[in-house]
Structure 1
Amino acid sequence: MKINSQDPSDDRKNQPTLSAKHRKKQKRKIHLDIWSVSSSIIILAYILFLVYPVGSILKQAIYSPETGFSLGNFIAFFSKSYYSGTLINSFKVSIAATILALILGTSLAYLFAMYDFKGKKVLRILIIIASMSAPFIGAYSWILLLGRNGVITNFFSNLFGVTMPDIYGFNGIVLVFSLQLFPLIFLYVNGALRNIDNSILEAAESMGVTGFRRFIKIVLPLLMPTLLAGALLVFMRAFSDFGTPMLIGEGYRTFPVLIYTEFINEVGGDTAFASALAVVAIIIALSIFAGQRLIASRFSFSISSLHPIQIKQTKGWKKAFIYIICYGVVLVAVMPQIYLTYTSFQNTQGMVFQPGYSLNSYAEALNRMGDSILNTIRIPLFALVIVILFAMFISYLAVRRRNKLTSTIDSLSMIPYIVPGTVLGIAFLTSFNTGVAGSGMLAITGTMAILVISFAVRRLPYTIRSSVALLQNIPISIEEAALSLGSSQTNTFFKITVPMMLPGIVAGAILSWITMISELSTSILLYNLNTRTMTVAIYTEVLRGNYGIAAALGTLLSIFTVLSLLLFMKITKSDEISL
């Protein structure tokens, strides 16, 4: 045989080549570790469920088989004041709400940090609760209070003959947004103030800079990076909110409502035009995000807080002023939820409130909307499993395995944080209606899967950022010690790193959960009768005038939120949340 006739010297000649091949295979095996595999899976998931849907709406906006490539949809939008005016309206509302939220949130956080007064812990919990509820539920509650037949409206009309300004239009939208979103600024600033060293304030005071001057000259510049981050979040939340202007906007049209109505139209929506509007929204969101990052980088600095701010005792008019501001703002912020709960126990028949109290609204809500309540629990739970798994790996890759690929993953994970939910809803609906590229694969529109995936994609950033923040404080030497003792990378990650990351993962997961159960802008586009959630049910019941059922569902949703917050506080062993 040929193999027997081979010269032994040939084997020796071939040996170095075989060794080189062996080494090459070994090198390839080393690189195909858990991080390479996880990076590939994560980037594939983002390409499939973020890049592809966003790319699809971009394609629909600029290309059609009939006309080919065209910018006609964008030209139509900017050339007609009816359409472009909605964008201006959204900017007006968002800017006004952001300014008011900054004033209220920063003022309250400063008073909480600098001065001692009774009931601070209770007020802080109420602020947190107000921050976690869905904005459109606040809008609905304000309709009950300041609507044309609202309680406060009727009270002033009957008692004083005064006609109160109603809740509808620009002023109402700004009021609801400001009261719903100022807690986010409070949470950001509250965390930042804990990092300011008291010696800085004492030095300013020794130089005669006190009171309001000290706040403007010293504290405000130190808070600037935090204020910019909070302002971005508030602006994007206001700019992308769909439910509030839909309920109380009436003639005041905003951009998210225009996108929704153009896509879901009674006489047949214009998908291409709606896609063009979605692309405009994405460009605006990314531009604002990039601008905020650029400005924030110029204010970036680090502070070592060796001496926390010392809380002062107050007397006289200053103490009265602090009580009036803190209690007044917080009570106004939570008043809609309090009245919503009260309304849920009233005896109502549709839009008519009957004398007396009953549990009929709850009974009817459970009877008619039982599936919605169940969906509100199970759909976010399924999404939460995905969020936790992906957040564990993405946060580790972003902190410990930084390279071009993991940096790309980290950047992609932030896109859903700023892109309006209505836009992602349209992207998912159009992309997966007939499957990927019309192949029938992943034709999940109308199923529970599309809601689970959309919730996970949208709310994943909360858990990632929380996990990253904690992981950055864990010394890498702990993992290196485990590896030096013979532990594998996989074993070290799951048995050493993940347990240390767990508080951050769980805290972020609970915040993701809270935002998922109050999600409306995406689910309103993706739901069907079998996958309707409580937020969708509340919204539809308000439109139908079934206020009792809507109030009962809203109260149940608030209870879910409060229980989630209590769980968060128990796990983090803290009575406050800072962003």
Structure 2
Amino acid sequence: MKNNKLRTSTILVLAILCVTVVFPIITLLMSINLADFKEVFGSQQFMTLLKNSVVTTLIATVLSVTLAMTLAWCLNRSNMKAKNIFSVWFTLPMLIPSISHAMGLLLLLGDNGILTNVLGINIGLYGYTGIIMGSILYSFPVAFLLLTDSYRYEDYTTYESAQVLGLTKFQQFVSITLPNLKRPLISAFFAVFTMIFTDYGVPLILGGKHMTLSVYMYREVIGLLNFSKGALIGTVLLIPAVIAFIVDLKQSSSSNQSTVVKPYNIQENKLRDVISTIYSFVMAFLVSLPIMAFIYLSFVKKFPIDMSFSLDNIRHSFELGVGSYLLNSITIALLSAIFGVVITYFTAYLTSRNSGGKSKMVLHLIAIITLAIPGVVLGLAYVLFFNGTFFYRTLLILVLVNITHFFASPYLLAYNSLKKFNSNLEDVSSSLGISSLKMLTDVYIPCTQDTIIEMFTYMFVNAMVTISAVSFLANLRTMPIALLIPQFDSQSLIEGAAFISVLILVINLIAKLIINVYRKYAVNTVVE
């Protein structure tokens, strides 16, 4: 009876994932008009778009991962002060949409930018330069978090052996550190590459004449309602993401996890600490400049004509309905986080804590393959599949697409946590007559509450900042506030767009503060 209930639950969740993941993607592929193949792929424009996308993405990815790696090294391999502050500081760019970073750079370094006017130097922001700079800003925190976590699991005994053999610090870095970071570096590279390649926010604002594939898809669907061409470009955007997913999956299956016998011992080196502190502070300052720019711009009368203090832009923004759009975003983010945690955690429980055979394997595969579907592609797939349904024009479909878009990461968090429990626990509980539901509510959930909190945070923050998956599905009544940024920018209301970025940042900071306070309370309650 117990196995039958689990099998039924597995099939039910599998059916839900098929409806929300598999069927929309199949519909996307089937909606392509064969006549558009020659028109799109045979045109010179496509090759130019492909070149722009690939060149900017490759350069930005290499620079982003390099920046993340050096910052992670400074925080984990030096005795610099205020490490926790810098760790939070470097993740601030994740709390605002990618298009906000583009806006910040435009305000600072555009033709009429603040720094351009002050320094009298125009760097030519529009084009490759702006796309690369903006892409680095919003993507490097992802690589930073991945690499920071990896540095913590290095075994110091290997380094002690290298010291005995007389290897210099540089030789140790090349022969030990880099090989240890091989898998995280590959994962970080592909994660950042996929993010940049499929993002349209930065190139939409800073691309100028250099249009990318993602911007072309956005304009074809939003501007021209050409779903066939949009679907065709969507499949192209899907290709590198799928390759990245396959390579990362191969790395995961072939890598051997080592046991940390001795934590890394950071030796005294004042010069290293000073250099690390200065470098981290400079990078934190540069990362903060775009954020400070749109905070400043929110309170000026008219950029760049009248830079005097004013609340007119904030008042005007609320007159245009910013309050209702903000309420939409908070509602969507909360519902996405609540229901997202429930479905991802339960899915992870089914795949990690029962022997479901082939159905469990298929469920696990679909769950993790969502990681390879770009938001802009998923959003278009939802338009084509769910158009005409009762919830197509409601907030519900925005919640659903967000849960699907961000499904994989919280799922893997829960899956890895649940896998750590003894594999014989279910057999013991069954022999004692303890139901699966009782084990789930009384054992697994309480013991993994910290992971659940992380899952909730991830879902909420990403649902607040995303513009990709929801851009094709929102209307004037259901629009989340992040989508007002490109809309205000197109209407030359850059002060209002800057204020919206500030609002999103403040909401996410408040949410993280509340969640951290709750986490401390929850941990103390468990300890007592």
TM-score norm. by structure 2 comes to 0.93
For the Cα contact (< 8 Å) 1:102–1:231, is it kept in 2?
A: yes
Separation in 2, partners of 1:196, 1:570: 30
| Residues 141-156 of structure 1 aligned to structure 2 (within 5 Å) | 141-156=104-119
Separation in 1, partners of 2:307, 2:435: 69
The Cα of 1:254 is off from its aligned counterpart by 0.9
User: 1:126: which partner in 2?
Assistant: 89
User: 2:157: which partner in 1?
Assistant: 199
Q: 2:393 aligns with which of 446, 454, 459?
A: 446
| Residues 267-286 of structure 1 aligned to structure 2 (within 5 Å) | 268-286=224-242
The Cα of 1:372 is off from its aligned counterpart by 0.5
Separation in 1, partners of 2:518, 2:451: 10
| Residues 29-428 of structure 1 aligned to structure 2 (within 5 Å) | 31-33=3-5, 35-62=6-33, 70=34, 72-157=35-120, 163-265=121-223, 268-295=224-251, 297-298=253-254, 300-316=255-271, 318-346=272-300, 348-349=301-302, 351-352=303-304, 354-368=306-320, 369-402=322-355, 403-428=357-382
Amino acid at match of 1:291: V
Separation in 2, partners of 1:566, 1:61: 46
TM-score norm. by structure 1 comes to 0.85
CA distance change for structure 1 residues 294 and 485 in 2, over 3 Å: closer, same or farther? Answer: closer
The Cα of 1:458 is off from its aligned counterpart by 0.7
Higher mean C-alpha deviation, range 450-459 or range 481-490: 481-490
The answer on 1:540 being equivalent to 2:487 is yes
Separation in 2, partners of 1:281, 1:383: 25
User: 1:8: which partner in 2?
Assistant: none
The Cα of 1:573 is off from its aligned counterpart by 5.4
Unaligned runs of 5+ in 2: 522-528
Aligned residues: 519
1:374-397 Cα deviation digits (max 9, x unpaired): 001001222223212211211112
The Cα of 1:221 is off from its aligned counterpart by 0.4
CA distance change for structure 1 residues 116 and 353 in 2, over 3 Å: closer, same or farther? Answer: farther
Separation in 2, partners of 1:388, 1:552: 30
For the Cα contact (< 8 Å) 2:143–2:189, is it kept in 1?
A: yes
Separation in 2, partners of 1:522, 1:107: 32
The Cα of 1:110 is off from its aligned counterpart by 1.2
The answer on 1:524 being equivalent to 2:477 is no
Separation in 2, partners of 1:167, 1:418: 31
Q: Secondary structure at the match of 2:308?
A: strand
For the Cα contact (< 8 Å) 1:145–1:153, is it kept in 2?
A: yes
Percent identity among equivalent residues?
A: 23
The Cα of 1:480 is off from its aligned counterpart by 4.2
Separation in 2, partners of 1:138, 1:477: 49
For the Cα contact (< 8 Å) 2:197–2:237, is it kept in 1?
A: no
CA distance change for structure 1 residues 353 and 314 in 2, over 3 Å: closer, same or farther? Answer: farther
What is the CA RMSD across the aligned residues, in angstroms? 2.1
CA distance change for structure 1 residues 30 and 324 in 2, over 3 Å: closer, same or farther? Answer: closer
Separation in 2, partners of 1:486, 1:30: 10
State which structure, 1 or 2, has the greater radius of gyration over its C-alpha atoms: 1
1:442-485 Cα deviation digits (max 9, x unpaired): 34332222111111111122221111121122234555444333
| Residues 457-496 of structure 1 aligned to structure 2 (within 5 Å) | 457-496=404-443
User: 2:450: which partner in 1?
Assistant: 503
